Amino acid sequence: MIPRYLIDEDWARLPSYQAEVIVVGVGIAGLFTAIRAAETAKVLLITKKSLMDSNTRYAQGGIAAVISKEDSPVYHREDTLHAGAGLCDPAAVDVLVEEGPQGVWDLIELGTQFDRENGELALTKEGAHSRRRILHANGDATGYEIVRALSEKAAAHPNIEVWEEHFAIDLLTDEDECLGVLVQKPDGSRVTVLGKATILCSGGTGQLYRYTTNPAVATGDGIAMAYRAGAAVRDMEFVQFHPTALVYPGAPRFLISEALRGEGAVLRNIHGERFMDRYDLQAELAPRDIVARAIVSEMEKTRSTYVYIDITHETEEMVKHRFPTIYQTCLEYGLDLATDWIPVAPAAHYMMGGIATDLHGETTIRRLFACGEVSSTGVHGANRLASNSLSEAIVFGRRIVERIRGLEPHGRSLYPASGTPRSEHPRQAFIEKRLKLQKIMLRHVGVNRTAEGLVKGLEELKRQLPIFDCCLTKREEYEFANLLTCALLTTSGALSREESRGGHYREDFPERDDRTWFKHLTFTRENGLREEAILDVVGAE
Ligand code: SIN
């Protein structure tokens, strides 16, 4: 069993630091929530790297919200529910589509400069959206622009203290209430931080996979920490593989935005044939899970490790203007986006599952909140609609801040307690361990899954469990423990769910089965895995 704490330490003896609101993570969810909370409270913002290191920074396509007169929350709702393949919580989707536009105005007020055309906000389309509703910045650098604007505000805010290079190891709880967090400082010493509310905004689990569009920091720390503390974590089997990440010798799996297909780019197999219309009526603009599986199928049929994305119907001027970052990155590898077909393949991109929350971002542990990819608010169901993640972060960030404004301090102090005593172990190569885990996940828990592969994957992952008996002291060691926890949850969920839906595809159960599987899979450390019929989900108010 995964232990309650990662380390063995008497918390009551450690130096203690008091904050009103603790925010862990500095993507859009962390920065936005910290800035809004700081209007009325002292905020401590903790990140394991720097203010500019987050997954948000790499977001290209944009942020989805109903801005155009031709659009309506009703259409945005329909598209989100359709992509979510039956597992969205309609109440959470209503929150997203109704409150999304206000979130966009908030971002603009905080200094984000979205692209405009003729003075109006420019809107593009992406897969499975029925209307143009994706705002973008500097062409394809939307995430970077949002992080630039928000991190400048957060760094300058008199009510926000930023701790960079600090690692949040574990949550401190008492009787199902969160008191704060245990933190390791850059010099290796540890402190406890206590506050009236703790908000996890620490992102997803992209590093579970060998090929991912996510940066190295996406190691599922918040999900694993909340699971150890007893919070409910759900739907971890639903992993979104982005259909088009660059495949080129020596290049990272760099995202080739879905917005290319929104602007008319087509997919071709290595023989140059278009194939998407053989898989779905929406062709290149079908939901991501369908496009990713179609690509894998074409790769298998043609015995290739990639297909091509082709936007050569556009002018060089348009491509350079609309996709400057992608254009430049491809050029570094000798590929000209305006004239060449670009080799691409699916790569892990987004975790639909996460820490279960209600409609104000509160988890099953009181005073513990989750926002952004780390959370499972019910918005994404089994498959996230493109560009809904940035909107979700601001909409639910706002709601969390409303909820915590009324919270009194918990007034508790830490009781003397510690984790399980651990013995010193010979130092292990944690980077190699991470690579091994990533290979297991790619091989057995990837785009296509089978019971045989999942059982094998689970066995191989379980062989790593003894690391929890080791005395862990370094960031990469904690990260590996967190990844292993998330890998076990994802693989167990995938093995249990004997159907195919959204981001979970079982070759041995290829159909969606609403009669048996119209439910969430929820894990808690104490009670293991539970199936929850859709009407009982956390968050369905
Ligand atoms: C993309 O630009 O294709 C990614 C957008 C997203 O994941 O929402």
> What DSSP assignment string belongs to 115-155?
-EETTEEPEE--TT-SS--EE-STTT-HHHHHHHHHHHHHH
Q: Please, what is the angle between helix 430-444 and helix 451-462, to 10°?
A: 170
Distance from Cα 537 to the centre of ligand 1, integer Å: 27
* Predicted pLDDT of residue 426: 65
Selection from 532, 394, 431 nearest residue 34 by Cα = 394
Using CB distances shorter than 6 Å, the residues near ligand 1 are 60-61, 255, 257-259, 349, 386-387, 389
* Predicted pLDDT of residue 535: 57
Distance from Cα 144 to the centre of ligand 1, integer Å: 13
| Predicted structure pTM score | 0.95
> What residues contact residue 506 under an 8 Å CB cut-off, 6+ apart?
449, 450, 451, 494, 497, 498, 499, 500
* Predicted pLDDT of residue 533: 79
> What residues contact residue 524 under an 8 Å CB cut-off, 6+ apart?
227, 230, 231, 232, 233, 364, 530
> What residues contact residue 256 under an 8 Å CB cut-off, 6+ apart?
244, 245, 246, 309, 326, 342, 344
Residues of the chain where predicted confidence (pLDDT) is lower than 50: 536-541
Report DSSP letters for 476-515, one per residue. Answer: HHHHHHHHHHHHHHHHHHHHH--S-BTTB-BTTB-S--HH
Distance from Cα 510 to the centre of ligand 1, integer Å: 26
CA distance 95 to 76: 11
Distance from Cα 17 to the centre of ligand 1, integer Å: 38
Domain boundaries, the chain: 17-238+357-404, 241-348, 430-536
Q: Is 49 helix (H, G, I), strand (E, B) or coil?
A: coil
CA distance 167 to 183: 6
Selection from 504, 500, 492 nearest residue 530 by Cα = 492
* Predicted pLDDT of residue 153: 97
Active-site annotation, residues: 288
Selection from 103, 92, 36, 32 nearest residue 66 by Cα = 103
Site to probe by mutation for ligand 1, drawn from 28, 96, 126 as the one with most ligand atoms within 8 Å of Cβ, is 126
Q: Give the neighbor-by-neighbor strand order of the sheet with 190-194.
A: 16-18, 190-194, 177-184, 167-174
Out of 3.90.700.10, 3.90.1150.10, 3.40.50.300, 3.30.300.100, the CATH code matching 241-348 is 3.90.700.10
* Predicted pLDDT of residue 421: 75
DSSP code, position 42 = -
Selection from 71, 55, 58 nearest residue 104 by Cα = 71
Contact 346, 295 (CB under 8 A): yes
CA distance 133 to 125: 6
> What residues contact residue 349 under an 8 Å CB cut-off, 6+ apart?
206, 212, 213, 214, 240, 241, 242, 245, 255, 288
Q: Tokens standing for 189?
A: 């010493």
Site to probe by mutation for ligand 1, drawn from 55, 60, 267, 384 as the one with most ligand atoms within 8 Å of Cβ, is 60
Distance from Cα 386 to the centre of ligand 1, integer Å: 5
N residues, the chain: 541
CA distance 172 to 9: 12
Q: How far apart are the first and last CA of the chain?
A: 33
Contact 359, 102 (CB under 8 A): no
Question: 246 - beta bridge partners?
Answer: 344
| Fold entry, domain 17-238+357-404 | FAD/NAD(P)-binding domain (3.50.50)
Which numbered atom of ligand 1 lies nearest the CA of 350? Answer: 7
Which numbered atom of ligand 1 lies nearest the CA of 64? Answer: 8
Which numbered atom of ligand 1 lies nearest the CA of 256? Answer: 3
Q: Tokens standing for 259?
A: 């917005």
Selection from 97, 463, 76, 446 nearest residue 289 by Cα = 446
* Predicted pLDDT of residue 539: 35
> Tokens 């609101």, residue?
21
Selection from 222, 120, 284 nearest residue 486 by Cα = 222
Residue nearest to atom 4 of ligand 1 (CA): 61
- Write out the CATH class of domain 430-536: mainly alpha
* Predicted pLDDT of residue 1: 84
HEC profile for 329-370? Answer: HHHHCCCCCCCCCEEEEEEEEEECCEEECCCCCECCCECEEE
* Predicted pLDDT of residue 419: 67
CA distance 430 to 146: 33
